[in-house]
Every structure is written in C-alpha cells, then in structure tokens.
Chain A
Amino acid sequence: MEKLKKLSGLLEKSMNVIFTVCGFLAVAFVLVITIFLVVSGTPAIGEIGLTNFLFGTKWASTAATPSYGILPFILTSVYGTFGAILIGVPLGILCAVFLAKIVGKRTSSLVSGAVSLMSGIPSVVYGLVGMIIIVPAVREFFGLPDGANLFSAILVLAIMILPSVISVSETAIRAVPKEYEEASLALGATKTETIFKVTLPAAKSGILASVVLGIGRAIGEAMAVMMVAGNVANMPGLFKSVRFLTTAVASEMSYSSGLQRQALFSVALVLFVFILGINLVLNLIVKKNRK
C-alpha cells in the first residue's frame, strides 16, 4: 500500500513536469525560430552593410559583381499589401454587413459556409487559378505583353484576405449592443443609415483588427504570389513584373549558395521583423477591445 502510494505520487509529479514542459514548448519554439533567423540572417547584413542592404535599389545576386539591395522587395510587399487591403477590405466589410444585418439566418450561414470554404482552399490553388484566369485577363484588358505583374498579385491577394476580413468583422458587427441600433432607429434613422452611422463606428476596433489580420496574411503569402507576380526584381510598378519579400526567399533558395544564400536569410529576417510588428499591433488592438 505504501509503495503504491509512493508510485502514484511519483506519477503525479512527473505528469506535472511533463505538462509544464509542453506548456512552455510554444515559448521555446518562438525563441528557437528567432535565434535561428537572427544568427543566420545577420552575417550577410554585416557584410553588405545595413543601409546598402535595406535601401539598395538593385538586387542582382547572380551577376558577376553581385549587388544585394532589397528595397524593391520591401516596397513591392508594402504596395502589394496596401493594394490588396484597398480592394479586399471594403468588399469584406460590406459582405460582413450583409451577413450580419441584411439577410436572414439561413442565407447568412450558407454564405458563411462558402467563406470558410474559401479560407480552406490551398494557396497554390489560388495561384493556379490566378495564372490561368487573372494573368491572361489582365494582359488582354490592359493590352500588356505579359499579365504576370503587381496588379495580378494584388487581385489574388485581395481574394485571399477576404475570408479573414469577413469573419473577424462579422463577429465585431454582431457584438454591437442592440440598444445602440434601436436608439438610432427610434430617432428616425433608416436601417441603412443606422448600419453605417451607428453599427460600423461602434464596431470599428474589431474591424480594425480584421484589417491588421488581413495585412499579416497578405504580407506573408508566398506561393500564390510567386505564381502570378512574374518574379523579376524590379522596383515596383503596377504593371511591372515584381518580386515580394516572400517570393524573393522562395524563388532563389533552391539554387543559392554563399553570400547569396545568407542574403536570403536576411530577407527572411526582415520579413520576420515586419510580421512581429504586425502581430504586436494586432495584440494591442485585441487587448484594447477586451477592455
């Protein structure tokens, strides 16, 4: 009996330790990822020079005298994300209003199901559809020699961020207290006026969170963008073939070596810093919401 008690006590203690280790695993993973990225990303920046690296306008990693300036990638990622937000966010918010306020439960759950299916479609499938439909359409419509450019990438990204924008804004809109709307309606405002002047402003921090989430999605997307953006390291222009931060890493990694390879790790480090910044903003917004 004594022995059994001791044994079960030992089991309890060891399970306690095991669960604690599991709990802190996520923290360990974040630390390991950060350490690996910093350790492998900084040597190239040191060799190239921080300003040359971040603000250099020419990326020619395989040239005889290579130059590693990633300003084109940074600007492309920023412009591309901005463009996707410009198209995707209004569409997404209007659709969220549609789901939360305009239609009944049945239609709403049907469309919500469609939206969640949309978020589950793999990014390469979006890329494939973009390659086959959007790229030729852009080429024909604007009379360009090649349709694989920043504009096509923006269109694909805009579709890809829609599910997260819609679902987060819908939750925010549904969380607005009914009394606000009733008061507005009682004062004589129409239903539409109430939605745009009362409900949306009241839900604005949740909607803002959805926008930031969309920014994170858009800036981190690699495969779909790689298939439609053309992948030439130009300074960004709406109808130029461009390369994003993500695609810069993905497209050269398989055959890179030496300083070029290290520079790619540095590009990933820059992307990581961007993402951490976006996460920080998102956390602040969500925390403010809870209060």
Chain B
Amino acid sequence: MNEEIAKSRKIKCVILNILIWAAAGIICLALLGIILCILLRGLPHISLHLLTSKPSLLNDTTGILPNILNTLYIILMTLVIVLPLGVGAAIYLNEYARNKKAVHLIELAIETLAGIPSIIYGLVGMLIFVQFCSLGTSLIAGALTLVIMTLPTIIRTTQESLKTVPDSYREGGLALGAGKWYMIRTCVLPSAVDGIVTGCILSVGRIVGESAALLFTAGMANEVLGIFEAVTPGKAGSTLTVSLYMYAKERGDFDTAFAIAAVLLILTLLLNILAKFAAKKLKKG
C-alpha cells in the first residue's frame, strides 16, 4: 500500500519535472532559433556598400546609411533632452520632496507612463509635436515623443542609485556649510553616476528597438541628413526599425530586412552586455 502511493507520487513528480525542463528547453530553443534565423539570413547580406550608401532607384541598390544615422541622431537628441529632465525629477523625488502625497502622485504618473504602449505614444506625439507644435513629421518630433517614453526609465534607475548614496555624505556636505544644490552636485550626484549610466543604456536600447512611436512622428524618408539638418523641423527620416518594417511589409525586400534585423540584433546584444557591466559596477560601487 505504502509503495503504491509512493509510486503514484513519484510518477507525478517526474511528469512535473519533465514539464519544467521542457518549458525551459522550449524557450531556449525558440530564442536560439530566432537568433540563428536572423543571423543566417541577415549576415550574408550585410556588406560595406549596404552600410555606407543610401537607397537609389536609379542604380537599383539599397543602403541603410541614412537609417543608421537617423537612429544615432534620435538617440542623441532624446538623451540630451531626457537626461536633465529625468535626473532632475529623480533628484526632486529623492532629495527635495517633502510632501508624501506629491511623491505618490508623481510615482503613479511614472508608472502610468511606463505602461502606455508605444503606438499611443506615436499617436499622441503626432498630435502634440507634429500638428500642435507644427514641427511637421520630423526627427525632432520623434525624439520629443521618445523623451516622454524614456522618462520613466531614467527617473527610476537614477532614483535607485540615489537611494544607495549614504545619508552621511549628505550630512557631511551640509555640515561643511554647502548649500543644498552644491551638496547634491558635489557629494550625491558623483556617487549616483552609475545609475544614470544604466538608465542611459536601457533608454538607448528602448530607442533602438522602437518603431510604432516613430512611424507617424519621425516619418519614413531615406535621405542622408547632416547633424544640423537633423534638428530642423520638417526633416523626416526613418530609423533602422522603421525601415525594417518598410522593407519587409511594404516592399517585400526580405534580404535587406534581415540584414537590418541582424544589425539590430547585434546592437541589442552589445547594449545588453553593456547594461550588465554597468549594473555590476553599480553593485560594487
């Protein structure tokens, strides 16, 4: 009798164990399959010519240089705007805010922003920046849209690392007669720089992968723009992700699409490793 129960229990355990291993196996296989599929189909089509030229109907060639540059411009513009705002907000939440209700309200707003899907950001960005501010479909409108989208990330990571700065630093600074802002600038912020860097890397990852928010704000043009042209209103341009979508869905050019996907995958991998590295340093620091 006793053995009978033990047997049925054993079978149950074995089945559940198999399920656990199978789930992990399926997920790893799926990821491996995705990566292999992209690299195998994408890498052969990456060439120096593809990376350094723009698409030309006359010569019947494709190139993704404009898209690479546009992605860079949008990353730069977004970070330049969102960094001061996000770090400032985190400093307010961690150092200045006295009113608990206000902090709750702001944190609720941050969580709400983090939960809004990118297609809604795209639509609202189009309404606010493209139409209301009459910037036109342009890189700058896209960057401003992404500022709202990446703000929660920057605030959260900065806040996390501000929290780890010991209070004795602050007290020491204040005791030496420094004003509050001077104390924050010289004692608190330097120790929180790792968190800010992590936030930047995560935001860059989000910007590189973003497409729905940029489709209606930054547009679909494929011209090579200079750095000063990029910030002028009305200059549209597609990033790597948007151009991948256009190549795959609208033009059916899967070779170029896979080449872009391979570039994006490598970028994602690099950003992941960077983020891990920064997080490790953050823990040590």
User: Which A residues are closer than 8 A to B by beta carbons?
Assistant: 8-9, 11-12, 15-16, 18-27, 29-30, 32-33, 36-37, 40, 90-92, 94-95, 97-99, 102, 111, 113-118, 120-129, 131-133, 159, 162, 166, 190-193, 195-196, 216, 219-223, 226-227, 246, 249-250, 253-254, 265, 268, 271-272, 275-276, 278-279, 282-283
Given contact pairs A8-B179, A94-B24, A223-B211, A20 touches B117 in the complex (Cβ within 8 A): no
Residue among A26, A36, A126, A220 making CB contact with B128, cutoff 8 Å: A36
A232–B120 alpha-carbon span in the complex (Å): 21
User: Which B residues are closer than 8 A to A by beta carbons?
Assistant: 9, 12-13, 16-17, 19-24, 26-28, 30-31, 33-34, 37-38, 41, 84-86, 88-89, 91-93, 95-97, 102, 105-106, 108-113, 115-120, 122-124, 126-128, 132, 148, 151-152, 155, 179-182, 205, 208-212, 215-216, 241-242, 244-245, 248-249, 254, 257-258, 261, 264-265, 268-269, 271-272, 276
Residue on B nearest A196 in the bound complex, by CB? B16
A117–B273 alpha-carbon span in the complex (Å): 9
A247 to chain B, nearest CB (A): 8
Number of A-B contacts (CB under 8 A): 243
By the criterion CB–CB under 8 Å, are B20 and A19 in contact?
no
Residue on A nearest B271 in the bound complex, by CB? A120
The 10 tightest CB contacts between A and B, nearest first, are A220-B117, A22-B88, A23-B92, A94-B23, A122-B209, A222-B119, A15-B181, A19-B92, A192-B13, A98-B24
Residue on B nearest A227 in the bound complex, by CB? B249
A131–B257 alpha-carbon span in the complex (Å): 11
Given contact pairs A12-B179, A129-B37, A226-B249, A29 touches B113 in the complex (Cβ within 8 A): yes
A275–B112 alpha-carbon span in the complex (Å): 9
Residue among A8, A126, A216 making CB contact with B115, cutoff 8 Å: A216
By the criterion CB–CB under 8 Å, are B96 and A19 in contact?
yes
Dominant SS among interface residues on chain A: helix
Dominant SS among interface residues on chain B: helix
By the criterion CB–CB under 8 Å, are B208 and A122 in contact?
yes
User: 11 A-B residue contacts at CB 8 Å?
Assistant: A12-B181, A23-B88, A29-B113, A126-B34, A128-B257, A133-B37, A220-B116, A249-B119, A253-B123, A271-B117, A272-B120
Given contact pairs A91-B27, A94-B19, A98-B23, A26 touches B110 in the complex (Cβ within 8 A): yes
A25–B19 alpha-carbon span in the complex (Å): 47
B94 to chain A, nearest CB (A): 10
By the criterion CB–CB under 8 Å, are B111 and A279 in contact?
yes
Residue among B21, B28, B85, B105 making CB contact with A27, cutoff 8 Å: B105
By the criterion CB–CB under 8 Å, are A276 and B112 in contact?
yes
